[in-house]
Every structure is written in C-alpha cells, then in structure tokens.
Chains A and B, each alone.
Chain A
C-alpha cells in the first residue's frame, strides 16, 4: 500500500463551526455560504518542508529563550507529545509552533491591555520540528488564565496555542492545548465552540507524573492529530492520471 491517496474528508462536526455566537467575534467573520468541496489536487496534497537547520537550540525552551536578567517566572513545566495522523502513524518533520501568555496570564503584545505584570524574561513563543517518531517537546512555564472582552466577565482557561504543518497543505491546523483538571475549560466560550465533549477532551493535555522531572518541572502530554490519507488499495485511476 502506498501513501498517495486522498486525505480523509475533514469531519466538520468535530471541528467548531464558523458561526458561534457565544464567541462574538465569529459572528461577522464566519462565511455563510457553503464551502465548495474540492478533492485534493497537488495544490492541496503538497506542502512546504522545513529543515531542522532553521531551528535554534533554545527555540523550544521558553524559560530561557527570552531571558534577559534571569529565567521566566512561574510553574515550570515540560510539554511533550507526538504529531500523528488519523491512521495513528507519526508525522516526522512537522513544524510545530507554540505561543502563550506568561504565568500571570499576560501576553507580550502591544495590543494586550490586561493589568497582570509583564515578565521581563518571558517572550512566549517557541517552535520545534518533530523527530523521526513524530515527537516534539518544549520547556515553559504554565500560562495563567486571563480575562478577555467577550462577555463582561469571560476568562480564558490556561492554554497554549499550537500551529502545526504536516506534509500537505491540506493538513494545516491551528489549535489550543488546555490543562487537565481545569474547571474553566467548560466555561470558556472558545473551547465551547467545539460542539462535541469528546472533541474538547482531545485538546486537554494529561498531567504525566511519570515524566515529571523531580525537583524541577511537571510534565504534560499533548498529542496532536492531523488528517490522514486513504490507502491506495484500489484508488480510482482516472484518464491521464
């Protein structure tokens, strides 16, 4: 079986719909016409390759990669996991980018207005390319929850944003990771854009005491699944193809 089949159709009932009125910004930013279904052509089944040479040694260490006068303040954690496809196969060479607020829930961004203090030693960004087994890992501090303008008193649960490239542009995905045991996930208008409870749970990283570094960092496991593709057992062979 070769690997050159179409990518599985995206399960749009598993993803959030475009229009989710409880997340108010989506109201004017959601297309209303049906999406046009397009079987993958080369334009969708190809994608850019990112070399390991682009990545620096501290790119996956958010505690140190912006350090000026000392290390970032907060609960030290290691986040690790695998990038897999829907066939449960690892995706090696995938660029994974992550960004987050500091321990107080404050982003380093000029438009950010939350009163929590900026940490002079925390930038909040990192990236890594998955290894041969699809693994990535990074060290950071646990981000704080933060309030945001939606309802008058809406707060985001602690979360880390993820951007992932697979092997095809059709696999491109941006999502967020939440933390096990956080009751605020279920009050969050953004997490709740995902209609199915089991789908929300797929975004909650598990506390992993086995991989916790004694006297150093707690560990959280977060696997990310990208679209898989059909095996080409009896792939349609159209004329000229």
Chain B
C-alpha cells in the first residue's frame, strides 16, 4: 500500500432539466414574491463604462430545432479588459459592471439576449493578448454537463487572427462557429451568436 492522496472528487453534474428557471428565474415563470428580481438580468447601468452592445442568438439541436428551454450565462471582462473578481490582480475593474449575466431563452422564439458592454482584451497565460471575448455557458434539459464556449466579435479580425486560444483550434474551419456577426439594432451594435449543439455547424465547446 502507498499513502493516500486526500483529494475529493468533484460532484458529478446532472442536467438542469426542463424547470431550471424555477430555481434561477422564478419571476420569469410566474413564481413571484419569493424574491424581487432574478439575478443576472441587467449587466449595465448608467454609470457603466464602455460601448453598449447587444449579444443575442439561438441554440439549435442536432435536428436543427431551436431550444426554447435552455438557460444561458455569460461572463466577461469590463471595457478595459479587467474582470470584476478577487482573482483579478492587474487593476480594479469598473465598479459599475459585474460582468455576469443570465437569461432564459425565449419560450416562443428561443432567442437569448443580453445588453452589455464590449469587453476589452485580456492576456493569455503567457502574456500575449487574447481577442475580446465573452464566456458563454449553456445548460438545458438533455444537456448532462454545462457547455462552455466563447463568443468572439466579427469586427475584431486582427485581434481574432492573433488570439492564442483561437490558434489552438486545429480545424480552422470550425473557428467561425465562435464568431458573433455584427449587425445593428436601434443604433446599437448587435452581435448574433447562434450555437449549434451538433451537426455540420457544431459550435466549438471547451474543456476548461
């Protein structure tokens, strides 16, 4: 026998199921009066620094059908590229921007939608700069363990071309699945980021 290593195992994941919103967005499913406001709906306030943008999209299954019961969370740096987290040691992030959002997909159209600010660049482990990006996490019925991906921006071609994370994706034809397309909505830049769980256009998901 050898000495024992005293590590615990991570609790295994289980699907969020069809009723995840009861726990995360009770007001959205008409369970009112327990708490006033569901967490993560609003990212920006009048004091938040940076360019206002909309990010939105839909999630498709392997048959091309839209998911209407999924939940999407995003996590991102502020406009200067700083995270509002104790782990951030490079400076102090915008106090008026938490950088975390959570939205259910619309029950009819399946669209998720966030109003946020465009994040600044954050360094990779070796100090090279990554392209501006937003971490996206999806859970739903039928998804056994949350899926992590990243949203990059179509108008950041130069930064995307030198991003050390994108450079790690050997099958270059999959990179476009991570790039949100810039459009406009009421004079505000609106980026569309559709996510494909399966099939020819399957989005790149990360094991982080």
Contacts and interface: CB of A to CB of B under 8 A. Distances in A.
Interface in B69-103: 69, 73, 75-77, 83-88, 98-100
A238 B69 CA distance: 43
Contacts of B62: 27-30, 32
Q: Which range contains the number of B residues in contact with the other chain?
A: 35 or more
A125 B31 contact: yes
Interface stretch (A70-78, A187-195, A210-218): A187-195
Given A31-B198, A40-B208, A41-B122, A175 B13 contact: yes
B143 interface: yes
A38 B31 contact: no
Q: Which of B9, B128, B130 has the most CB of A within 10 A?
A: B9
Contacts of A65: 34
Interface string B195-208: 00110001111111
B10 A25 contact: no
Interface residues of A, number: 93
Contact of B34 (A44, A45, A66): A66
Q: Chain B at the A interface: mostly helix, strand, loop or mixed?
A: loop
A161 B17 contact: yes
A47 B85 contact: yes
Contact of B11 (A29, A173, A191, A241): A173
Interface in A199-232: 199-200, 202-203, 224-228
Given A30-B197, A175-B14, A109 B29 contact: yes
Contacts of A32: 62, 198, 202
A35 B14 contact: no
